[in-house]
A and B are shown apart, each in its own frame.
Chain A
Amino acid sequence: MDRKQCCVKLSVQPSRGLMDEKFIVLVQNALPGSQLTIRALHQCEDGHSWEAFGHYTADTTGTINVSEDPSIRGTYSGVEQMGLLWSLRPIPGSKPGLRMRKKNIQTPMEVTISVYQGHQTEGFADLVPLSGVVVERWYMAPGVRRIPVTEGGLTATLFLPSGPGPFPGLLDLWGGGGQLVEYRAALLASHGFASMAIDYLTSKFTMETGKMVDNQYFETAYRVLQQHPQVCGSKIAMIGLSFGTSMTLKMAIYSEVIKLSAAVCISGSHVQPVEGSVEEIMGFFQKNAGKTRFNEKNEAIWRDLLLPIPTDPSLKADVGRLQCPLLLVVGEDDQNWPAQESALDIKEMMARAGNSHLLTVLSYPNAGHLIEPPYTPHARSSTFKTVEIQEKVMCLWGGQTVEHSRAQEDAWKKILVFLRENLYGGRNPTSFSHL
């Protein structure tokens, strides 16, 4: 047995972290100057396998520190501390159009990180690594409580941070695919916000009656959150992505009941029939479905459905009336929604109305539509089914992996600071320094 091989020690610190926390991958006791491959492997809930790898050369002390040393090539290159996670992609031979989303957020994402002799690019399953460790990535911090909410006909889940509270509240909305998506709310609760993930397109009510919910549904969610004994009723914000942005702006501006302390709108638009119901807004987009384009891979591009940005004020949420701070997050390569054009128009409208001091825009070149919490794989396209179109389409989201992943990391940090400032009144949080 080759003793030298056994010496290689691989460690990942921390071995259990939150999904948005950085880790340090360290290889020690390797032969100085030796060529090694560090690889990450994850099997997601759907049973698909995802992998990422980088090619390294051990230094004169026989050490590789992924946060300091460059990967020469692989699924990522350069000095990329978290490259083993954000560059994960389905292993060769996987079916196309996959997107990684964790449904059960009460268990961690398990990633096996291993180090192999030489610079390997394929056939990892047939190789024996020199060393391997398992890393757990959690959406929920210890003590965070997950509470299903059905009160008032809602289909929602409330995540409460540990402790007595009271905590500022957050309403969390996803987009046109519907379903009850919990992971972002769980992570936000791990950062001290009582967060309610809401299913507003495929709720129990909608599935049973065939009818879409109306404004009251969101107001009920707001009231349930506000009245919770551990929620600070005067500090509630809303965060929406894609179609969730449309709902967020609608509620922030027009609702008599909902009084937000802040709003975060990711990859969305203010273009919508003003005073339209959820159904009418959906219908408005559907009407323009003819503007769908397809690229050479036959992937659907939907960004034109809302272009050009209308001049007719009845077709745009009146952002000039906003009374709370608004953070817009935009991917400049968004192929699904015209987020960038919308952001520009929002900026103009607010400048004219005199409330642009409330607006912050984060715009990322080469980032796509799905700007999510950091360190999960980037999907430039994936199979998608909206509640309107009952068949699956290969949807082009956009974005180049490296820049999109950087955008996710940067945007998330800034979203947390924005929420902290507006909901806790804190400034420059020290406690985010490990993110």
Chain B
Amino acid sequence: MSVLRCFSFSRGALWCVTRPHLQECTPTSRRLLSAMTQVVPPILSVTPCRALVDEKFKVLVENLPPGCPVTVRSLHHSEDKDDWEAYGHYVSDHSGVVSVSEDLSYGGTYTGKEPMGLLWSMRPVPGSRPGLRLRKMNVCTPMLVTISVHSGHEGFRDQAPLASVLTERWYMAPGIRRININEQGVQGTLFIPPGPGPFPGLLDMWGGGGGLLESRAALLASHGYVSLALDYLGFDQESENLEFKYFETAFNIIKDHPQVMPDRVGIFGLSLGSLVAVTLAAYSTIVKPCCIVCISCNHYYPARGSTVTSKFEGVTRQLSKARVNEDNQVIWKDVALEFITDPSNIAEVGRINCPTLLVNGCDDQNWPTVETAEDVARLMREAGKEHLLSRLAYPDTGHLIEPPFSPHFRATTFVMRSSKEKVILLWGGQTKPHSDAQEDSWRKILSFLQFHLYCGPNLKAKI
């Protein structure tokens, strides 16, 4: 592509792209673009510049020369001090504009028309340590992402960006209160929306990985639910009864809160957390959840009389027999499948009496959630509870189905709790379908929660 074509401003200017394969800017033209932008720089905008993590944004580049190849890139420096990036290759139109929401990316970490590709396709920058997972532990501050525009496609990182802006992605909407809970033996973090209430409530539990993750509870509070992110793996409970009591007490802390509607409290669990949801809904005589959401559902509940924590220990010990693939990634799914084939090892989900939403990925390599979902459906059908069950199953989607626009990790490092051994667990999923699943499932989860916790069918107004 000649330099002249790139920089001609006359009406007869030709587009740089005339064939499906893009011509690259020559080093000369790139330098010229760079020099030119010393006088007339491109204008980059991200709207809104501050948003919740599940909200969309529009990335726009203006004032470029027409038909110019540029790369739009996102960069995030994580709490763990790793750098994550995503980028797309674009070509400006005749008015010198690149609109990430409207235009096609011709390559990069995502292709096609992907308004949010700069977030969900993020991955650690080349040279990073392997097996990284992006999780924000401090939800009081926003995730900072720098969006920048660079000239050219290949080797775009070689020079300084033409323009860059900072955008904030928040877990907490303004006015949300975050309260550390340490009462009646229960530990966790409570998030309360602004306003008088009363609000519906949610008990929120993540899976077997370490640490108390508050991100989803904070986000749910931003959608109007008093949410308790429960810390339940940090300590060893002495017995199953005491442990069950722990969960029931946690549930009641929400239920009894002055700003919570006591008959509108649900449970939200992912992976091991969904096992807690399911067993509470099936077995508890004390708490009656209004509805439950189970992502990557686990209903493995053997040897009644032992705690979820110790069950998990036992399971992970047995999983040491698990298959390791050629990339040295551990696949638990197949071994776990053996565990759940024995009906005496399964929670009696037919006893569940509330609306239940199951969300799972069909490429889940960590747990046989496809088979689990089928099993739960069968058991609930046999118990006459089929009308309570909704299911969402996504192709090419893995185990870690999180709120939208968070990066997909096919495999990450996992520290075994007892042995402290570090393994790389394969979660599964392909980035694009997994990210689509995160976006679609979140919307449907929110709609499910809204329907059951905010306005049930009996409250529909008579017109």
Co-complex (A, B): yes
The winner among B43, B99, B161, B164 for most chain A CB atoms within 10 A is: B43
Chain A residues whose CB sits within 8 angstroms of the CB of B49 once the complex forms: 18, 141-142, 190
A313 to B175, CA, bound (A): 58
Chain B 166-209 interface residues, beta-carbon cutoff 8 Å to A:
166-168, 170, 173-175, 193-199
Which residue on chain B has the smallest CB distance to residue A60? Answer: B463
The winner among B49, B163, B165 for most chain A CB atoms within 10 A is: B49
Q: Is A365 an interface residue (CB 8 A)?
A: no
The winner among A4, A10, A15, A164 for most chain B CB atoms within 10 A is: A15
Which residue on chain B has the smallest CB distance to residue A427? Answer: B95
Number of cross-chain contacts by CB at 8 Å:
133
Q: Is A3 an interface residue (CB 8 A)?
A: yes
Contact (Cβ within 8 A) A6 B41:
no
Complex interface: stretch among A132-140, A150-158, A208-216, A379-387: A132-140
Contact (Cβ within 8 A) A164 B161:
yes
Partner of B174, one of A32, A131, A136: A136
Contact (Cβ within 8 A) A16 B198:
no
Q: Is A9 an interface residue (CB 8 A)?
A: yes
Chain B residues whose CB sits within 8 angstroms of the CB of A50 once the complex forms: none
Contact (Cβ within 8 A) B165 A163:
yes
Partner of A132, one of B60, B166, B170, B194: B194
Chain A 418-435 interface residues, beta-carbon cutoff 8 Å to B:
420, 424-426, 429-431, 434
Per-residue contact bits, chain B 97-136, to A (CB 8 Å; 1 contact, 0 not): 1010000000000000000000000000000000000000
Q: Is B148 an interface residue (CB 8 A)?
A: yes
Q: Is A143 an interface residue (CB 8 A)?
A: yes
Contact (Cβ within 8 A) A426 B43:
yes
Contact (Cβ within 8 A) B167 A133:
no
Contact (Cβ within 8 A) B44 A114:
no
Chain B 38-92 interface residues, beta-carbon cutoff 8 Å to A:
38-41, 43-45, 47-52, 55, 60, 62-63
Chain B 410-460 interface residues, beta-carbon cutoff 8 Å to A:
454-455, 459
Chain A residues whose CB sits within 8 angstroms of the CB of B455 once the complex forms: 7, 29
Per-residue contact bits, chain A 209-234, to B (CB 8 Å; 1 contact, 0 not): 00000000000000000000000101
Contact (Cβ within 8 A) B50 A142:
yes
A167 to B164, CA, bound (A): 12
Contact (Cβ within 8 A) A166 B166:
no
Interface size class of B (residues with CB under 8 A): 35 or more
The winner among A114, A135, A163, A426 for most chain B CB atoms within 10 A is: A163
Q: Is B389 an interface residue (CB 8 A)?
A: no
Q: Is B368 an interface residue (CB 8 A)?
A: no
Chain B residues whose CB sits within 8 angstroms of the CB of A141 once the complex forms: 49, 165-166
Which residue on chain A has the smallest CB distance to residue B145? Answer: A142
Asked whether A16 and B195 contact (CB < 8 A) given A29-B454, A424-B40, the answer is: no
Q: Is A69 an interface residue (CB 8 A)?
A: no
Contact (Cβ within 8 A) B174 A110:
yes
Q: Is B461 an interface residue (CB 8 A)?
A: yes
Q: Is A240 an interface residue (CB 8 A)?
A: no
Chain A residues whose CB sits within 8 angstroms of the CB of B261 once the complex forms: 1, 3, 6
Contact (Cβ within 8 A) B164 A164:
yes
Q: Is A162 an interface residue (CB 8 A)?
A: yes
Interface size class of A (residues with CB under 8 A): 35 or more
Contact (Cβ within 8 A) B195 A62:
no
Contact (Cβ within 8 A) A14 B196:
no
Contact (Cβ within 8 A) A162 B173:
no
Measured CB to CB, the closest approach of chain B to A20, in angstroms, equals 12
Contact (Cβ within 8 A) A430 B97:
yes
Chain B residues whose CB sits within 8 angstroms of the CB of A167 once the complex forms: 41
Chain A residues whose CB sits within 8 angstroms of the CB of B63 once the complex forms: 424-426
Chain A residues whose CB sits within 8 angstroms of the CB of B461 once the complex forms: 31-32, 62
Chain A residues whose CB sits within 8 angstroms of the CB of B48 once the complex forms: 14, 16-17, 21, 434
Contact (Cβ within 8 A) B62 A426:
yes
A15 to B219, CA, bound (A): 13
Chain A residues whose CB sits within 8 angstroms of the CB of B163 once the complex forms: 163-164
Partner of A7, one of B41, B166, B454: B454
Contact (Cβ within 8 A) A16 B99:
no
The winner among B47, B166, B168, B198 for most chain A CB atoms within 10 A is: B47
Partner of B166, one of A162, A425, A426: A162
Measured CB to CB, the closest approach of chain B to A373, in angstroms, equals 16
Which residue on chain B has the smallest CB distance to residue A34? Answer: B461
Chain B residues whose CB sits within 8 angstroms of the CB of A10 once the complex forms: 195
Chain B residues whose CB sits within 8 angstroms of the CB of A190 once the complex forms: 49
Contact (Cβ within 8 A) B174 A163:
no
Contact (Cβ within 8 A) A131 B164:
no
A326 to B142, CA, bound (A): 41
Chain B residues whose CB sits within 8 angstroms of the CB of A298 once the complex forms: none
The winner among A108, A167, A192 for most chain B CB atoms within 10 A is: A192
Partner of A431, one of B60, B161, B193, B196: B60
Partner of B41, one of A16, A165, A234: A165
A395 to B151, CA, bound (A): 53
Contact (Cβ within 8 A) A15 B173:
yes
Chain A residues whose CB sits within 8 angstroms of the CB of B39 once the complex forms: 232, 234-235
Contact (Cβ within 8 A) B41 A132:
no
Asked whether A166 and B38 contact (CB < 8 A) given A16-B51, A110-B174, A429-B43, the answer is: yes
Q: Is B13 an interface residue (CB 8 A)?
A: no
Contact (Cβ within 8 A) B40 A143:
no
Asked whether A134 and B97 contact (CB < 8 A) given A15-B52, A142-B144, A164-B161, the answer is: no
Measured CB to CB, the closest approach of chain A to B225, in angstroms, equals 12
Chain A 7-52 interface residues, beta-carbon cutoff 8 Å to B:
7, 9-10, 14-18, 21, 29, 31-32
Which residue on chain A has the smallest CB distance to residue B222? Answer: A15
The winner among B97, B164, B196 for most chain A CB atoms within 10 A is: B196
A133 to B175, CA, bound (A): 7
The winner among B41, B45, B170 for most chain A CB atoms within 10 A is: B41
Per-residue contact bits, chain A 256-283, to B (CB 8 Å; 1 contact, 0 not): 0000000000000000000000000000
Q: Is A129 an interface residue (CB 8 A)?
A: yes
A143 to B146, CA, bound (A): 9
Chain B residues whose CB sits within 8 angstroms of the CB of A1 once the complex forms: 198, 261
Q: Is B398 an interface residue (CB 8 A)?
A: no
Per-residue contact bits, chain A 158-187, to B (CB 8 Å; 1 contact, 0 not): 000111111100000000000000000000
Measured CB to CB, the closest approach of chain A to B10, in angstroms, equals 16
Partner of A163, one of B44, B196, B199: B44
Which residue on chain A has the smallest CB distance to residue B193? Answer: A133
Chain A residues whose CB sits within 8 angstroms of the CB of B164 once the complex forms: 162-164
Q: Is A128 an interface residue (CB 8 A)?
A: yes
Q: Is A112 an interface residue (CB 8 A)?
A: yes
A351 to B195, CA, bound (A): 58
Contact (Cβ within 8 A) A430 B60:
yes
Measured CB to CB, the closest approach of chain A to B255, in angstroms, equals 14
Asked whether A6 and B195 contact (CB < 8 A) given A14-B50, A112-B175, A166-B41, the answer is: no
Q: Is B224 an interface residue (CB 8 A)?
A: yes
Measured CB to CB, the closest approach of chain A to B92, in angstroms, equals 12
A7 to B224, CA, bound (A): 11
Given contacts A16-B50, A163-B165, 11 further A-B contacts (CB under 8 A): A3-B459, A7-B455, A31-B461, A108-B174, A132-B195, A138-B50, A161-B165, A162-B164, A190-B49, A232-B38, A424-B63
> Could you give 28 example pairs across A and B, Cβ below 8 Å?
A6-B197, A6-B454, A7-B454, A9-B224, A14-B48, A14-B51, A15-B52, A17-B48, A32-B463, A112-B175, A114-B195, A131-B196, A132-B195, A132-B196, A133-B175, A135-B174, A136-B50, A143-B165, A164-B160, A164-B161, A164-B162, A164-B163, A165-B41, A192-B43, A232-B39, A420-B43, A430-B62, A430-B99
6 tightest CB-CB pairs across the interface, nearest first? Answer: A134-B175, A143-B166, A132-B195, A16-B50, A431-B45, A134-B174
